[in-house]
């Protein structure tokens, strides 16, 4: 399978596909491999290089979505079969980053805000904290007046 996958990868990504020498080119195997490549070739942008992936990763989303659709078909067939299979199922993946529930936050205090804006003077005592916030943010739209 590894040798055929290298052939398929070169064909789908716009490279030069070379049938592996270790596998005898029989018509049935070649037809199956080319049929799968034809389907994936339509949705995969060319050339598929690390540089093109880095430049515009969004162009590869339809290709990844197609692959996940094919994986879903395999999982659906496996779930509906009554016989237990020793078949190794393909590993599913997420197209977009999975959000974590570890909340990340930055503590916003008056001294930190004043350090970002040179026109705002740093507060000397806690009584001046509100004046820093009011000089940076517009709280009138929320009904709070100075």
The pTM of the full predicted model, rounded to 2 decimals, is 0.55
Q: Where are the domains of the chain?
A: 2-80, 110-140
Give the C-alpha separation, 124 to 31, whole Å. 78
Helix (H, G, I), strand (E, B), or coil: what is residue 56?
Answer: coil
- Any idea how long the chain is? 146
Give the C-alpha separation, 99 to 59, whole Å. 22
Give the C-alpha separation, 122 to 81, whole Å. 69
Specify the pLDDT at position 14: 82
Specify the pLDDT at position 105: 73
Give the C-alpha separation, 141 to 101, whole Å. 31
Specify the pLDDT at position 5: 84
Specify the pLDDT at position 84: 60
Specify the pLDDT at position 2: 78
Q: Provide long-range contacts, Cβ within 8 A and 24+ apart, for 26-30.
A: 29/4
Q: What is the pLDDT along the chain (146 residues), one digit of tens a residue?
A: 778 888 888 888 888 888 888 888 788 888 888 888 888 888 888 888 888 888 888 888 888 899 899 888 888 888 777 666 667 788 888 887 777 767 777 778 898 888 988 888 899 998 889 889 988 888 888 887 76
């Amino acid at each position: 399978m590894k040798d055929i996958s290298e052939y398929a990868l070169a064909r789908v990504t716009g490279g030069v596909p070379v049938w592996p020498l270790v596998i005898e080119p029989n018509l049935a195997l070649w037809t199956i491999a080319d049929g799968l490549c034809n389907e994936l070739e339509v949705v995969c942008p060319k050339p598929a290089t690390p540089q093109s992936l880095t430049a515009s990763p969004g162009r590869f989303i339809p290709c990844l979505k197609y692959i996940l659709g094919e994986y879903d078909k395999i999982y659906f067939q496996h779930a509906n079969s009554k016989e237990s299979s020793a078949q190794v199922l393909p590993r599913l993946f997420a197209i977009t980053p999975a959000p974590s529930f570890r909340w990340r936050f930055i503590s916003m205090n008056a001294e930190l805000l004043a350090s970002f804006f040179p026109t705002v003077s740093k507060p000397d005592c806690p009584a001046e904290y509100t004046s820093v916030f009011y000089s940076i943010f517009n709280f009138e739209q929320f009904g709070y007046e100075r």
